[in-house]
Copies of this chain bind each other. A is one copy, B any other.
Amino acid sequence: MPSDLDPFFSPGSVAVVGASREPHKVGHEVLANLLEGGFEGEVYPVNPHTDELLGRRCYPDLRAIGRAPDLIVICVPAPVVPSIMRQAVNIGVKAAVIITAGFKEVGEQGAQLERDVVNIARGGGMRVIGPNCLGLLAPRCKLNAGFGGKLPPLGGIGYISQSGALLSAILDIARAHKIGFSALLSIGNKADVNELDVLRSLGDDEQTTVIAGYLESIEDGHAFVQEAEQISHRKPILLMKAGGSEIGARAASSHTGSMAGAESVYESAFARAGVIRCESIKRQFDYAEAFATQPLPAGPRVAVVTNAGGLGVMAADAVEDYKLEFAELSEQTQQALREVLPPEANYHNPIDVLGDALPQRFEQAMQLALADEHVDSLLVLLTPQAVTDATGTAHRVVQVARDLAASGRQKPILASFLGAHEVEGALAVFQAGRIPWYDSPISAVRTVRRMVDYVRWRNRPKRVVKLFPINRHRVERIIDRHMRRSDWEIGEFESKEILEACGFVTPRGSLATTADQAVSIAEQINYPVVLKIWSPDILHKTEVEGVKLGINSAQEVRDAFDLMMYRVPQQRPDAQILGVLVQEMCRSGQEVILGMTRDPRFGPVMMFGMGGIYVETLQDVSFYLAPLTAEEARQMLRNTRTYQMLRGTRGREGVDMEAIAEALQRLSQLVTEFPQIQEMDINPLMVGPVGVTPIATDARIRLGHPDKPT
């Protein structure tokens, strides 16, 4: 399928099928918007009942136009849509926006209609946006092909919305704040063109410098990550993702499965692809405006120029909260500031130019701050006080930014002028002068944080996934045997065999069916040993007293064996008991858990956390998409709160972090190469100091039922 949506963004001619004279009808609204917007190409209203509409010649049907319009906008009732589509295909139309509702969203009958429409389109090589959408707007050719609102100014932001209703609000806000767009699309039911097509297309579009969007679901997570990762290298993608608990309800039998909610999966996918997550529409535009108008900061060091101490304090608090750095000005800069500012001013960062500062004083302070090589970005903060000239100051900010750009230096400048009427003029100057402005210093600092994150992502080393030797045959044999007999749970014993085939070390041990056998295994291993009940039906062995640690003698082995065989069936009469596993005891080391769950959209998601009871009570785990690079595996460790504890703390030796990172990579390779594996845990992996090989003490694998992909 071609990804190119060019006919949508810059058509030479547009037909409105179902155009109408009656106000409040969608067909009227769309035609009126198209004409009012000043669309630069030809407009063909189509309606069999009239030959004139809003002063334009009206055609009875598409064929009557005499040529194929580059784009058609369909507003006729749903049942009529297929026949219009057939007509369109016949005359060679290549792009349609179907505004009409009443398709998939109303039930099976509508869904069938939608499938028909898609089939007609695909048969004729036509791309379709919608149905059940608000249309699209492309300010570059003054195209307003929808009924979401008036056309916003031309700019660098390409917007994609899964909610038409939200797009209306965004259009209204954008016009009021003069936010410029390259294109806005409401993708509705996504019958043909989906978020991925639009992403790809906006990624290739030269007019678009920032991609932003509101999504409630992502269809093909894997493709999304691949595509978004490519695009993020060229331009930032800012997404608001709503709708929390899509896969939360999925039954989960493993620790990893139960903890990897939809949120953590999206977080991982966005982190991998460099996508900047937006917490609200307001914040999305906070960020988008900065990315669209400012150069990227080289680093995290923020300088502040303000006429109000309070704003400086707020900015300083926010810089700390958002883990940025407050720039330390050079001696030279401080000296220069001292020369131009009054004696009571603050020459350190935040530079307080005082309440009586006129534009020139702001300008001098800004220039000096920007010239300092310890400064990566600049915030200009102002409150309107008695003699303040907010508008004049805004002009200076714009000029300083231009001079900086002309000098070839790249530092973002963000403004926060607090107030309303008193700063209106200034805001207009900022809009015209391409300086992003914020309703609080905190919002400005938060935006710088996102820019710094994006730069870090762009500068990260190239992803190289290391491959480890795997005995594929051994793994396949176990998986196939289970699959053949529809046994979806691979128990501890064989799960560990699979891990061994991937180069993991597991404790020595064997299965015993009698107490005597247990003793003889224990003597072979050497004490102390561990006994564990072995049953395919028991997932949490400790809950049924099915685990006994630290057994030191033959007598203790016998006692423990018999107690388990007596007690466990009492607690779980339904469970098939296959015997007792006698195992080497790993006495020292720290327990960690490694895991994986396969997300239906994004594929395998790796998990790491502190093991034992911590994983569930502290919920201190981190997630990332497989396959992992070494650096990503290390980052997973760093993303837990218990990282300090693992790394070692006063008087206490740390564990071998590289060994854990390698284990994560091996596991990531296993689940990537064997898509049959649906979920798995190594819980715990016992890890020791550097040089000591980690041991996979317990493990469990769940296979995917081929009929039920989840």
Interface of A toward B, CB cutoff 8 Å: 24, 26, 29, 105-106, 147-149, 161-166, 168-169, 172-173, 175-177, 214, 216, 242-245, 279-282, 307-311, 313-314, 316-317, 320, 344, 355, 383-388, 418-423, 439-440, 442-443, 540, 542-543, 613-614, 616-619, 641-642, 644-645, 649-652
B24 contacts A386, CB within 8 Å? yes
Bound together, the chains give a CA A310 to CA B443 distance in angstroms of: 24
B149 contacts A650, CB within 8 Å? no
Distance in Å from the Cβ of A606 to the closest Cβ of chain B? 23
Residues on the B chain within 8 Å of A244, using CB: 316-317, 320
Q: A26-B386, A168-B419, A242-B310 are in contact. Are A651 and B280 (CB under 8 A)?
A: no
Residues on the B chain within 8 Å of A308, using CB: 163, 165-166, 169
- Which residue from chain B places its CB closest to the CB of A610 in the assembled complex? B618
Q: Of the candidates B168, B242, B313, B385, which one forms a contact with A383 in the assembled complex, judged by CB atoms under 8 Å apart?
A: B168
Sampled A-B contacts (25; CB under 8 Å): A106-B344, A148-B385, A163-B309, A164-B385, A165-B308, A165-B385, A166-B383, A168-B385, A169-B308, A172-B421, A173-B418, A173-B419, A177-B420, A214-B310, A244-B316, A279-B442, A280-B442, A282-B440, A542-B650, A613-B645, A614-B645, A616-B644, A618-B618, A618-B642, A618-B645
Residues on the B chain within 8 Å of A24, using CB: 386-387
Bound together, the chains give a CA A164 to CA B388 distance in angstroms of: 13
- Which residue from chain B places its CB closest to the CB of A652 in the assembled complex? B613
- Which residue from chain B places its CB closest to the CB of A169 in the assembled complex? B418
Residues on the B chain within 8 Å of A384, using CB: 149, 168-169, 172
Residues on the B chain within 8 Å of A423, using CB: 172
Bound together, the chains give a CA A542 to CA B650 distance in angstroms of: 8
Distance in Å from the Cβ of A644 to the closest Cβ of chain B? 4
- Which residue from chain B places its CB closest to the CB of A167 in the assembled complex? B383
Distance in Å from the Cβ of A343 to the closest Cβ of chain B? 9
B280 contacts A440, CB within 8 Å? yes
Residues on the B chain within 8 Å of A26, using CB: 386
Q: Of the candidates B214, B386, B649, which one forms a contact with A29 in the assembled complex, judged by CB atoms under 8 Å apart?
A: B386
Distance in Å from the Cβ of A353 to the closest Cβ of chain B? 11
Q: A172-B419, A175-B420, A282-B439 are in contact. Are A310 and B649 (CB under 8 A)?
A: no
Residues on the B chain within 8 Å of A542, using CB: 650-651
Bound together, the chains give a CA A519 to CA B581 distance in angstroms of: 43
Distance in Å from the Cβ of A174 to the closest Cβ of chain B? 8
Residues on the B chain within 8 Å of A175, using CB: 420-421
Q: A384-B149, A384-B172, A420-B175 are in contact. Are A164 and B617 (CB under 8 A)?
A: no
Residues on the B chain within 8 Å of A169, using CB: 308, 383-384, 418-419
Bound together, the chains give a CA A314 to CA B147 distance in angstroms of: 23
Bound together, the chains give a CA A147 to CA B106 distance in angstroms of: 61
Residues on the B chain within 8 Å of A651, using CB: 540, 542-543
Residues on the B chain within 8 Å of A642, using CB: 617-618
Bound together, the chains give a CA A22 to CA B619 distance in angstroms of: 66
Residues on the B chain within 8 Å of A421, using CB: 172, 175-176
Bound together, the chains give a CA A355 to CA B173 distance in angstroms of: 18
Q: Of the candidates B242, B386, B540, which one forms a contact with A313 in the assembled complex, judged by CB atoms under 8 Å apart?
A: B242
